[in-house]
Every structure is written in C-alpha cells, then in structure tokens.
Chain A
Amino acid sequence: AQSVAQPEDQVNVAEGNPLTVKCTYSVSGNPYLFWYVQYPNRGLQFLLKYITGDNLVKGSYGFEAEFNKSQTSFHLKKPSALVSDSALYFCAVRDSYTGRRALTFGSGTRLQVQP
C-alpha cells in the first residue's frame, strides 16, 4: 500500500522568512514524490517531483524539496516566502514498483504568508 501524510493543516509564516511544509510517505518499493499547489477556485499546479538521484529537488517559483529516505520524508521548502505563496499545498506519492496504483495525495497544508 502507499500513503502520504501532511501533519500540519496550516502553516503560518511571515513574508521574507523561510518556509517548510512537511510530508512523510509510505511505500513498498521506491517512491515517486510530487508537490502540487492549489489556489482558490483553481485546479492543482505541479511544483516539483522526485524520481531518483539528488536528494534536493528544485522546482517552480523558487520552491525546493528535500528527499530523506531514512526518515521517509519529502519536505517542501522556500528560502524566502512571498504573500503570493499563500495557497493549499499537496504532497503526493506513487510506488514505483507496484503495477496498478494511482497517485495518492496527502490531506493538504494551507500556507498563510503574512505581510
């Protein structure tokens, strides 16, 4: 089975400060990991993904994520938050070894960046 957990319903950060949105996963084999962002009344937009290789993945809009196999985590980070980053963020996982698995999403974390 595959699953993903986002332990924080909401993260509050001041503009200009670094931000971290947490994600942990569980898979039988090796994971394919994704981050998506959703703005109000919009669909999900792809930010970045991890397949293999470097543990630090760089994505859109200055976001990056760090893959940690021993901690089964894939936290989303940004060095300096913007008010426009305020949105709902979803982590997702797919097991690379199983044959019939759809992408599984976490429950989402609402990021609020205060001016």
Chain B
Amino acid sequence: KAGVTQTPRYLIKTRGQQVTLSCSPISGHRSVSWYQQTPGQGLQFLFEYFSETQRNKGNFPGRFSGRQFSNSRSEMNVSTLELGDSALYLCASSLSSGIGTGPSGANVLTFGAGSRLTVL
C-alpha cells in the first residue's frame, strides 16, 4: 500500500514568488491535513480538507491557501513568499475528518516525507 506522497521534496524560491505543493494521500483516505514545521515554531496546523471542502484552518495569513480534488489529492499554495516561509511542509492523510466529536477524533494521521521549501 503506497504511503502519502508529497512533491516536490525540495525546492528553492526567492522572495515574492509563489509556490504550489502537492500531496497524494493513501488510497481510500479522504482527509488531508497540512502542517508547517520550523525549528522555532515547531509543527503548526495550516488546514484540513475533507471531500473537497476545507474543514478547518489554522492561524496563517491568506497567502496560504489550499484545495482538494475529487480524487482526494491536495495542493497548497503560498503566494508572495517571505523569508519566514522557509520550512518543511508536511501533508498527512486519514480515513475521515478528525474534526467533530466522537471516534473520528482518534483517527491516526499518516504523514508524507514533506516538501522542504527554502526562500532566498
């Protein structure tokens, strides 16, 4: 069973540019979450998509956006890149949305290897 696939693995951009990162979840998983990992801030939640709908959003500026396609694949976009956007961006998939009360909150997230973005 293939894992969560993120592309590209590494990329270098300059300030002001935009970037699109892609995530293919495990087959059958309908929920995709995105996290930003930096040495200073740790793991911060960006957003979660389930059935092509954004279910939850973290405290990031509007420059960060995402979407999910009908095959559950997801993309996130960062526009007008800043130096502080340099980070490892992690995508995680799960069977169902963890949002909401009840057992779905205990769903395990399966993470991809991440996309490491460097902004110069």
Q: Are A and B part of the same complex? A: yes
Which A residues contact B (CB, under 8 angstroms)?
Answer: 32, 34, 36, 41-46, 49, 51, 90, 94-108
Docked CA distance A67–B65 (Å): 37
A103 adjacent to B109 (CB under 8 Å) = yes
Q: Closest 5 A-B residue pairs measured CB to CB?
A: A43-B111, A105-B43, A102-B45, A44-B111, A32-B106
Docked CA distance A45–B114 (Å): 12
B101 adjacent to A99 (CB under 8 Å) = yes
A43 adjacent to B90 (CB under 8 Å) = yes
Docked CA distance A96–B99 (Å): 9
Which B residues contact A (CB, under 8 angstroms)?
Answer: 4, 6, 33, 35, 42-43, 45, 48, 55-56, 58, 90, 92, 98-103, 105-106, 108-114
B98 adjacent to A103 (CB under 8 Å) = yes
A108: B residues at CB distance < 8 A: 42-43
A45: B residues at CB distance < 8 A: 111
Docked CA distance A107–B42 (Å): 5
A103 adjacent to B113 (CB under 8 Å) = no
B90: A residues at CB distance < 8 A: 43-44
Known: A32-B106, A49-B106. A102 touches B113 (CB 8 A): no
* B56 CB contact (under 8 Å) in A32, A46, A90, A102: A102
A32: B residues at CB distance < 8 A: 105-106
Docked CA distance A108–B105 (Å): 21
B110: A residues at CB distance < 8 A: 46
A94 adjacent to B98 (CB under 8 Å) = yes
Docked CA distance A41–B114 (Å): 8
B58: A residues at CB distance < 8 A: 102
Offer 29 A-B interface pairs, CB within 8 angstroms, sorted by A: A32-B106, A36-B111, A41-B113, A43-B4, A43-B90, A43-B92, A43-B112, A44-B90, A46-B108, A46-B109, A49-B106, A94-B106, A96-B101, A96-B105, A96-B106, A97-B101, A99-B100, A99-B101, A100-B56, A100-B99, A101-B56, A102-B48, A102-B56, A102-B98, A103-B33, A105-B35, A105-B42, A105-B43, A107-B42
